[in-house]
Amino acid sequence: MKEKVAFQTNVPVTAALAYPDGMKVEGRYGDQIMYTLTDDRVMYVPPIVRNKLADLGIRQNDPFSICKVEQRDGNRRFIEWVVKRLPTDQPSSGATAPASAPSPASPPATPGVAATGNGNGKANGKTTGGPNGSHGAQASLRSALAASIDAAIEAERYATEHGLSVRFGSEDLRAMALSLFIQHARDGGVR
């Protein structure tokens, strides 16, 4: 069972991605992106965080900090997700970063920028390696397989907590992964 990262307001969390891409899932409050982290936890974040990770060029195993910051504009309160790249020599244990959280009144450290839509973490959308971006397709398929396994584990755990018995087999996982891969390709993530 993978532990879910619980983001507390104004408390930064240090993490590193186990896989280069997250999986789009429907959450209670709309679409979310599920990422598996190197310390075997999972995090669910809004799509703007995926955009910020891509804008910073954060890839698999790159340490970063993420903070759910409460901002104010007069009487209006809102959440701003602040993502910062960390030096690679800093461990990505998943512990809270010792640095203090940004002040709620301060502007966000990383502005929200529109997604590049390529899903590979490269600003220009080009992949490295094989002909026709085959390494990007391999990474996308690998990510889809891992995401389907993680989702199946979470679904089985949820079912058990509610007194149900749900088990996914290898064919179920393959079908889920292929569906994710195809959707990712349709969204322009595989080049």
Q: What is the pLDDT of residues 116-174, one digit of tens each?
A: 333 333 334 444 444 444 566 777 677 777 777 877 777 767 766 776 666 776 667 67
Percentage of residues of the chain with pLDDT beyond 70:
65
In a domain, 1, yes or no: no
In tens, the pLDDT along 90-112 reads 444 444 433 333 443 333 333 33
In a domain, 80, yes or no: yes
Can you read off the two tokens belonging to residue 173?
A: 């996982």
Under 8 Å CB-to-CB from 108, ≥6 apart: which residues? 69, 71, 80, 81, 82, 102
The Cα–Cα gap between 131 and 166 comes to: 41
In a domain, 156, yes or no: yes
Model confidence at 9, in pLDDT bands (50, 70, 90)? Answer: very high
In a domain, 170, yes or no: yes
Would you say how long the chain is, in residues?
191
Helix (H) or strand (E) holding 137: helix 134-161
The Cα–Cα gap between 94 and 86 comes to: 13
Residue 37: how many other CB atoms lie within 10 Å: 20
In a domain, 7, yes or no: no
In a domain, 171, yes or no: yes
In a domain, 17, yes or no: yes
State CA 54 to chain mean position distance.
10
The Cα–Cα gap between 188 and 190 comes to: 6
Torsion angle of the four alpha carbons 11, 157, 28, 186, in this order, in degrees rounded to the nearest 10: 100
In tens, the pLDDT along 109-118 reads 333 333 333 3
Model confidence at 35, in pLDDT bands (50, 70, 90)? Answer: very high
Domain that holds residue 33: 13-186
In a domain, 66, yes or no: yes
Question: How many separate domains does the chain show?
Answer: 1
